[in-house]
């Protein structure tokens, strides 16, 4: 059975069950201690968390989880292995894993890199090319104070029975990037590792105007749907639907009858006129 996908609007709602996949892509709202403890409990019970970030708020979760890896917050570019511009580096160095299955080339969009402080606890699954550099100036050009080296961009670590997977670029999953090279395969690999439900966390993304009103409207609709599950309400709705369609049917029948009478009258008038030697057409 295919896993069910849903959206998490708030951490006050019930957390997904063990074995589910929690997707955190480009968080811009920090994680407080209570939220981080819920994520930790989810991981301890066997859940899987995928966190894609570069310059956002992902480190607040990593700090609260006390794991040995952080997002650097520094952009990297590549001198030779890139698509169109150095700020879109290509990644081809992968370690064997279900997440990296069938991957030969990923393209990133202004990524940062991962700072791993304990390689015995954190497994690096992908690295940039040896010609990538910490692009302090952000112009995609190698400055005198910048050197080239390979950087970790994909890694994972285990917490309890669960697994935390990190990639140092949220832009890789945008509409503009997902279709290039193996980016789609990469995202499908992430979804395929989910043994249970897939949950998208949008509670840590800054919301646009009117989002609260939309959420309130959604809650009203959900309440209505719950009410429709009542036998009495369902019966009333059924009767209403029957009466509505009956009215529509009778209205159309009257309209068709009127049109038929009009056509018959026109036909009779035309026939009489032809008998007199001229047609009204």
Helices (H), the chain: 33-44, 58-65, 183-192, 211-228, 231-275
pLDDT band at residue 193 using 50, 70 and 90 as cut-offs: confident
Taking only the tens place, the pLDDT of each residue in 1-59 is 456 888 999 999 888 888 899 999 999 999 999 999 999 999 999 999 999 999 999 99
> Is 80 exceeded by the pLDDT of residue 133?
yes
Report the relative pairing of strands 106-107 and 48-52 from DSSP bridges.
unpaired
* pLDDT value at 68 more than 70: yes
- Separation in Å, CA 133 to CA 1, 47, 77, 167, 170: 44, 35, 6, 17, 19
Residues 226-267 have pLDDT tens digits of 554 444 444 444 444 444 444 554 455 555 554 544 454 444
DSSP symbols for 188-244: HHHHHT-SS-EEEE-TTSPPPTTHHHHHHHHHHHHHHHHHHTSHHHHHHHHHHHHHH
Rounded mean pLDDT, 80-99 = 96
Tell whether the model's pLDDT for residue 118 goes beyond 90: yes
């Amino acid at each position: 059975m295919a896993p069910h996908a849903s959206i998490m609007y708030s951490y006050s709602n019930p957390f997904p069950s063990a074995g589910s996949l929690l997707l955190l892509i480009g968080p811009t709202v920090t994680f407080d201690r209570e939220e981080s403890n819920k994520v930790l409990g989810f991981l301890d019970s066997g859940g899987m968390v995928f966190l894609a970030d570069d310059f956002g708020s992902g480190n607040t979760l990593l700090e609260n989880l006390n794991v040995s890896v952080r997002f650097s917050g520094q952009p990297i570019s590549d001198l030779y292995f890139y698509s169109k511009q150095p700020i879109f580096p290509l990644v081809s160095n992968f370690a064997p894993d279900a997440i990296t299955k069938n991957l030969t080339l990923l393209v990133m969009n202004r990524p940062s890199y991962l700072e791993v402080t304990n390689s015995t606890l954190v497994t690096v699954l992908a690295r940039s090319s040896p010609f990538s550099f910490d692009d302090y100036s952000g112009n995609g050009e190698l400055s005198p104070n910048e050197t080239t080296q390979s950087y970790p961009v994909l890694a994972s670590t285990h917490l309890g029975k669960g697994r935390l997977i990190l990639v140092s670029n949220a832009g890789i999953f945008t509409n503009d990037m997902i279709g290039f090279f193996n980016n789609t395969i990469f995202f499908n690999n992430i979804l395929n590792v989910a043994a249970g439900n897939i949950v998208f966390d949008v509670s840590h993304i800054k919301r646009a105007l009117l989002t609260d009103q939309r959420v309130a409207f959604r809650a009203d609709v959900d309440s209505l749907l719950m009410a429709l599950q009542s036998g009495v309400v369902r019966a009333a709705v059924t009767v209403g639907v029957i009466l509505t369609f009956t009215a529509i049917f009778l209205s159309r029948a009257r309209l068709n009858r009127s049109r038929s009478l009009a056509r018959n009258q026109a036909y009779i008038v035309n026939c009489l006129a032809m008998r007199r030697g001229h047609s009204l057409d």
